[in-house]
Structure 1
């Protein structure tokens, strides 16, 4: 079985709709689908008319706006840019079909903005749907001021920018395509293939050939130090690689807080801005700490005094919410794992998803639950499915990746525990040597099903359960179990879970 086959088979899934108490969520989903369908119908009619009128260029532009075909259960999120330049004024003799497009899309944008408000004002709030609806509104109304504020932008020189980017620009920095935010007077040197040598107090910057400068940073005495909007990174890999690593972190941060909005709850910046119409995006985000080593040996050597023998030969990344740190910020550790058993990006997304959850969702008591430890590794492995798309967007929850392929095989071979037994495992039981690999597979498969299955209808009640698990509220007989959140008996959840994967295991 290959990941390509998994995606191709996704079209064959036919599962009955869930029976849950989330009538508001279903109504919001129906409204969103109706808006998109009505807009698509109007755009198609416009394209057909323009074709008949021999306006081929206009028809082609209109068809580019039609919804993309859906070829699997994954969720697509396009990371938002740091800076949005002012839109150029249209020429005086603008093509009339552009006005026709605006007449169709702008009202839909306004409707999506109202849908976002409705989702945020619901009780309980549906912040994930609000976040997605705002992105839909922005796609159609790029200068909608309130949508921009809610999504973290401030006005900037006739366009829009995030406060972090505004601060960089005011400091005289520019966004270099390879090296990120750098002082403007660095650009000429960078274009000559030079990089700065390690800083020496009281001395001017020394410029060296890039390979030589990177070599001086290849030991942990002088790592590169990089600050992005949400992360503080130390790395002893070449600077271009470290910058690329930081960009992946930022793109993932955007995806994570869109997909996981309902698990973060009131601590979500978007939720706070919805509650306070005067609250502006904050430039002073306390960054998450990330350490990126050049190789596995260095990773193990430097991490062993911190994590002990838990950093074994098969460790690919490490984050401990109870480990040493400052406040609620603790480093996540990675290494450049060339040709490893999992892509570097999969490990990155797994561990950083833990980091973002535990450093953004408030105080936790996740070890106080009666079992249900699986959910944390389930979410981590769920984010291993993040895949970059050709247009710069990211997709999460697709049926891809080596671990999910193995999970389908294990399910077909009946290696998975009965769901009721699986859910009741605590951390020690989940991680016992005889079961750990299959438990990770089952956790991933179950998380993908709950986040993506049945057209995403189970996601919000599942994330309500995640929020309870994070706070240690899962107690036997206390009405906070997964089945209570979903409103579905455990045997029915298991039946639907197996039905979701049946096409991939031949049964």
Structure 2
């Protein structure tokens, strides 16, 4: 059985995949293999039917989760592929951007990203395209020492600019694409309005997204990161990554200080700001806790053998949240917390403690009692990001007083012993 305190999710790993059944070999499968494949296809179809039911009830995120899991069992399940926005190009299933790249004669290279298929042998041999000619990889690196002249790695949803090396940029872009799939499965209902949900249900395919990719800048060192961003953020030395909603750009740097948790935290801020129309100053008046709560909760994302998890009492900031409340007795009641705007919260001296609490509260709203408050969490996020929330919004959406929610939160953390 799956742990009810964490999500178990799957991703489609490759930008393009040959259209063939799950586990299919080159031929000559034994009888038991054929039976196993048949069972997996049957399971994929059952998951797909559940996905359709989720669409009928306008639970788009759940539908995407189920469709992705169906593809784990049968990667050639055509309706599930189409639901996730894939199309066939030359016998391969490709998402929209990848399909356009394939039609232009490009292929995805695990080290170098999108290359014209005729250029692959020369890249593998160490040459790099420069204008209409070729230079060595060493000369290419010399020319791209400044991030303004850096390598650009486009993917379906991101554009990574880096001076850390093409391969480093490709690795980061691939990880961000995996993150995007996870985020979309959890929060599709945040970015799809009623009309888009109806179109998704009727067409059986995700609506086309904007051609504008999410911008990421990846510096080769912390020193360059600090120097480039100090004017925008005087305390940049205290950060391991940052997202500026004013410029719609995320910034990170290579090196041992960098962490997956920081990447997921800032990438969460970016997607919540850029996948729907939001207020100019999110959380200015109240409820800023939930903006940081959802980002700190997503720090718990972890890759497991063959799947991913989000949540869990042993992941992310949950151990700290439990310690602060159950051992230290530290807790800011929701009645007080929901009244805090961005300035009220970020000026507090106990910010590190509070961040663990808001991560715990978000996990509570996601997983308590089988996900009782999951829809309320999503609606509260929408209200905060569109500046329609007040200090009573969460109580109204959950149907519970803040005193009762405080009590349930404690019980939730105690259940993790």
Taking a change above 3 Å as real, the CA distance of residues 474 and 181 of structure 1, as seen in their structure-2 partners, is same
Alpha-carbon separation, structure 1, partners of 2:315 and 2:363? 12
1:144-223 pair list within 5 angstroms: 144-192=77-125, 194-196=126-128, 199=130, 204-209=133-138, 213-223=140-150
SS of the equivalent of 1:237 reads coil
Q: Give a deviation string over 1:423-477, Cα, whole Å, max 9, x none.
A: 2211111111412222211111111222233333322221122112221121255
| Residue pair 1:76, 1:395 contacting (<8 A) in 2 also | yes
> Which residue is equivalent to 1:318?
242
1:31-110 pair list within 5 angstroms: 70=2, 73-80=5-12, 81-87=14-20, 95-97=30-32, 100-101=35-36, 106-110=41-45
Answering whether residue 214 of structure 2 is matched by residue 288 of structure 1, we say yes
> Which residue is equivalent to 2:355?
440
| Residue pair 1:350, 1:381 contacting (<8 A) in 2 also | yes
1:364-443 pair list within 5 angstroms: 364=279, 367=282, 370-391=285-306, 393-400=307-314, 403-411=317-325, 412-443=327-358
Alpha-carbon separation, structure 1, partners of 2:284 and 2:147? 39
Is the deviation greater in 170-179 or in 247-256?
A: 170-179
Answering whether residue 402 of structure 2 is matched by residue 487 of structure 1, we say no
Alpha-carbon separation, structure 2, partners of 1:378 and 1:368? 12
Is the deviation greater in 231-240 or in 166-175?
A: 166-175
> Which residue is equivalent to 1:332?
250
Residue 280 (structure 1) shift = 7.5
Going by fraction, where is strand more abundant, 1 or 2? 2
Moved >6 Å (runs of 4+):
88-94, 278-281
TM-score normalised over the length of structure 1 = 0.73
| Residue pair 1:451, 1:459 contacting (<8 A) in 2 also | yes
Q: Give a deviation string over 1:339-363, Cα, whole Å, max 9, x none.
A: 33xx522111111111111111223
Please list every run of 5 or more consecutive structure 1 residues that lacks an aligned counterpart in the other structure.
Answer: 1-68, 325-329
Residue 290 (structure 1) shift = 0.8
Alpha-carbon separation, structure 2, partners of 1:74 and 1:490? 24
Answering whether residue 225 of structure 2 is matched by residue 349 of structure 1, we say no
Match of 2:164 among 237, 240, 251: 237
SS of the equivalent of 2:364 reads helix
Alpha-carbon separation, structure 1, partners of 2:153 and 2:209? 17
Is the deviation greater in 79-88 or in 145-154?
A: 79-88
> Which residue is equivalent to 2:368?
453
Taking a change above 3 Å as real, the CA distance of residues 113 and 234 of structure 1, as seen in their structure-2 partners, is same
Alpha-carbon separation, structure 2, partners of 1:381 and 1:425? 17
> Which residue is equivalent to 2:411?
499
SS of the equivalent of 1:205 reads strand
Taking a change above 3 Å as real, the CA distance of residues 95 and 368 of structure 1, as seen in their structure-2 partners, is closer
Alpha-carbon separation, structure 2, partners of 1:402 and 1:140? 29
Please list every run of 5 or more consecutive structure 2 residues that lacks an aligned counterpart in the other structure.
Answer: none
Is the deviation greater in 369-378 or in 231-240?
A: 369-378
Residue 493 (structure 1) shift = 1.6
Alpha-carbon separation, structure 2, partners of 1:237 and 1:347? 18
Q: Give a deviation string over 1:192-229, Cα, whole Å, max 9, x none.
A: 3x2527x35xx5121234xx643442323421111111
> Which residue is equivalent to 1:17?
none
TM-score normalised over the length of structure 2 = 0.87
Alpha-carbon separation, structure 1, partners of 2:162 and 2:289? 31
> Larger RCO: Structure 1 or Structure 2 (Cα < 8 Å, ≥ 6 residues apart)?
1
> Which residue is equivalent to 2:381?
466
Alpha-carbon separation, structure 2, partners of 1:298 and 1:214? 16
Q: Give a deviation string over 1:269-316, Cα, whole Å, max 9, x none.
A: 7x36524428686486321111111222221221133x242x332122
Larger Rg over CA atoms: 1
Alpha-carbon separation, structure 2, partners of 1:442 and 1:333? 26
